[in-house]
Structure 1
């Protein structure tokens, strides 16, 4: 019998990084609304039950490769062990809050590593832009105008560095896209999902996480062939 490495997860606190889901959440333009319908009630049926409908990329969610690649894996293809990952948090609010079109650069990563050390291979890099605080104001969250949406994201040079030189497992962000709002190519999604990596969007409570040391446990619905799924993302804090 092969020797199995024993992995231990020690923590003092668990923080949810997912927004509650309701019909008022910010929705990507053109995406289906969040809808709830009562199908059984305590008064009439003895139990309470609703049905719900929403897009696969709405609320706090994870994207799947087949959302950008015709032969890509669906959300149900991720093995369980791929969804438990060490996390680092890069706080770029100083750059983004005055510039909603800001793209995270390699310089931002180098500055973070100068303070905290090199990003560990297999990590998920979470980017705290401050946009989580606009969640209850969809107009501010998207910054929509005649040119389209305006919110920060990860730049192409930064994602190339993270994938090629740090071998990260994926990225997450508190905006509605790891690609910034003005992107028309979704290059960051393409780059990460080409390797069956992790893309998390619409995260929250990133301000409550340490820069290093947290472990993410990502719960997705195993939607067969799904292009993504709403996600319950838990951060375990040592």
Structure 2
């Protein structure tokens, strides 16, 4: 299989922080010249940059990062290209009809998949435009993906924007639906042009913190 990276490189100069999250900071605490080795102190939120979120991120009592299974972090993946619609409407909400149109071309989404939308927001990374209104899934689309088994018990959603919710939704209705059972959300993805529409798998790395809400991550696409 071919391996591709779907993660941004974190850099304090360019990493866009969700409003209200802690700043991302790197401090050099040891140098080779002075200490014989190089080491930095990292300060960041659990959802800084490219990351995945655990169900307990939005739902009390649902699994946290250390309570997930390895299979929850390795799922079949599909990519739905909605860039054209999102370019016309920055707050576009992906509809059931969008997914059904995709399935007419590519076949039914496998059960318990990661359903990833390619909105074009990855091109805005590091700019003020990334934090403004962004696209996401419509609430009824999230319900449909869950109810039909397409994301099932341990699938989820993915996006190159901040979250599966449209940016204008301050209730995080889609997140509250997706982040249940063992479903996860992949957020601030990069390099989605390298991910095929279907046939790939997603592999999520990142550290597992005790009772973590998720993790900054290296997220890989495994291509057939």
Q: TM-score, normalised by structure 2?
A: 0.95
Count of residues paired in the alignment:
220
Structure 2: where are the runs of 5+ without partners? none
Q: Does 1:179 align with 2:165?
A: yes
Of 44, 50, 69, the match for 2:40? 50
Structure 1: where are the runs of 5+ without partners? 1-10, 144-149
Displacement of 1:77: 1.3
Aligned to 1:154: 137
Aligned to 1:147: none
Aligned to 1:15: 4
Contact 2:205 2:217 in 1 (8 A): yes
Aligned to 2:183: 197
Structure 2: distance between partners of 1:81 and 1:141: 31
Other structure's SS at 1:121 match: coil
Q: Within 5 A, what are the aligned runs for 1:18-33?
A: 18-23=7-12, 24-33=14-23
Structure 1: distance between partners of 2:117 and 2:142: 12
**1:30-73 CA-partner distances (Å, limit 9, x unpaired):** 11111111111100111101110101111001112222122222
Aligned to 1:37: 27
Structure 2: distance between partners of 1:72 and 1:51: 31
**Structure of greater Rg:** 1
Q: Does 1:210 align with 2:204?
A: no
